[in-house]
């Protein structure tokens, strides 16, 4: 691959040294400590350590290490720290990487994210996608650019297998205190993907069944009507039917829901909120922004001394 030959994937060669530095520093360290250790260990010249990208002004070497760290986190070789400390995972302690192995990890994640993105170009090869990724990473810090590389939660859900999505929905219901989750066999489900019960209080249980549809657009209203038909004719008596989708519902379907107390429609937006509320399969990220009102008294304050 051309980029590999020209050295423009230079950050990949630091995957192994980052792991090595952390082992030498006791398993965890600040980025500055890791930069200093690698710089000294590998005799990195000062002009390389202090070189900046012309466009962004970001220190090139530190940015390369930051991107190396991001891929190591995705590979679960480093823990994802919220406090700026890089920490080896148990897997990372026992892993040593040469440059070829590191490059394989890079290509693996390029391919994973390419396959998960909804707006991917079908004819795009992994090598071509890697070229695009390298261009993004060349002058951009991971915290700024990784959201352009990683798929969104809804894209991940839409790319699961049908059976995988059903089982994941069952797992999500467990997080919301549903019990006795039962996933039906697909060939005998009769339009029902699973059953569950929700204990409302010590005396009352709510029996439900659910259907899971991976859609990237609008669920046809006739699918909602068919679900109601199954709900009304199913031999197992239930109090509620949940229709869960990664897509959305038309106004006609929402009107049907309002008129049917037994029907609950869960669209992609609500589904994402449900995952986020219980932090299932997602990592919370805190972003700090300046409170401009706080700084108002100091902006034009005269020097009275």
Using one digit for the tens of pLDDT, what is the confidence trace for 89-141?
Answer: 999 999 999 999 999 999 888 888 777 765 555 556 767 767 667 666 665 66
Question: 0.85 exceeded by the pTM?
Answer: no
- CA-derived radius of gyration, the chain: 25
What pLDDT score was predicted for residue 1?
36
* Contact assessment for residue 243 and residue 266, using Cβ atoms and an 8 Å cutoff: yes
* Contact assessment for residue 256 and residue 221, using Cβ atoms and an 8 Å cutoff: yes
Residue 265 has pLDDT above 60, yes or no: yes
Q: Going from the N-terminus, what domains does the chain have, and what CATH number goes with each?
A: 2-151 (no CATH), 158-277 (3.40.1350.10)
* Contact assessment for residue 275 and residue 282, using Cβ atoms and an 8 Å cutoff: yes
In whole angstroms, give the CA distance from residue 116 to residue 152: 9
**Average pLDDT rounded to a whole number, residues 286-295:** 68
Write the CB contacts of 190 (distance below 8 Å, at least 6 apart in sequence): 184, 230, 234
What pLDDT score was predicted for residue 2?
37
């Amino acid at each position: 691959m051309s980029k590999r030959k020209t050295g423009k994937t230079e950050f990949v060669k630091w995957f192994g040294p980052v792991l090595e530095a952390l082992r030498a520093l006791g398993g965890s360290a600040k980025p500055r400590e890791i930069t200093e250790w690698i710089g000294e260990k590998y005799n990195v010249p000062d002009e390389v350590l202090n070189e900046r990208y012309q466009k962004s002004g970001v220190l090139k070497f530190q940015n390369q290490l930051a991107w190396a760290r991001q891929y190591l986190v995705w590979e679960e070789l480093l823990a994802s720290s919220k406090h700026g400390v890089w920490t080896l995972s148990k897997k990372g302690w026992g892993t040593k990487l040469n440059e070829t192995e590191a490059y394989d990890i890079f290509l693996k994640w390029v391919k994973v994210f390419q396959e998960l993105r909804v707006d991917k170009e079908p004819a795009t090869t992994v090598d071509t996608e890697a070229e695009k990724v390298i261009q993004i990473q060349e002058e951009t810090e991971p915290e700024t650019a990784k959201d352009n590389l990683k798929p969104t939660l809804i894209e991940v859900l839409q790319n699961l297998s049908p059976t995988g999505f059903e089982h994941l929905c069952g797992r999500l219901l467990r997080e919301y205190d549903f019990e006795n989750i039962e996933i039906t066999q697909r060939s005998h489900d009769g339009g029902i993907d699973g059953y569950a019960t929700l204990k409302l209080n010590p005396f009352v249980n709510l029996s439900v069944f659910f259907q899971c549809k991976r859609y990237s657009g609008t669920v046809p209203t006739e699918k909602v009507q068919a679900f109601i038909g199954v709900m009304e004719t199913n031999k197992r008596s239930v109090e509620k039917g949940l229709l869960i989708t990664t897509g959305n519902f038309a106004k006609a379907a929402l009107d049907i829901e309002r008129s049917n107390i037994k029907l609950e429609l869960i669209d992609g937006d609500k589904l994402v909120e449900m995952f986020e509320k219980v932090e299932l399969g997602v990592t919370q990220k805190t972003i700090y922004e300046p409170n401009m009102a706080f700084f108002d008294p100091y902006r034009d304050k005269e020097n009275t001394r």
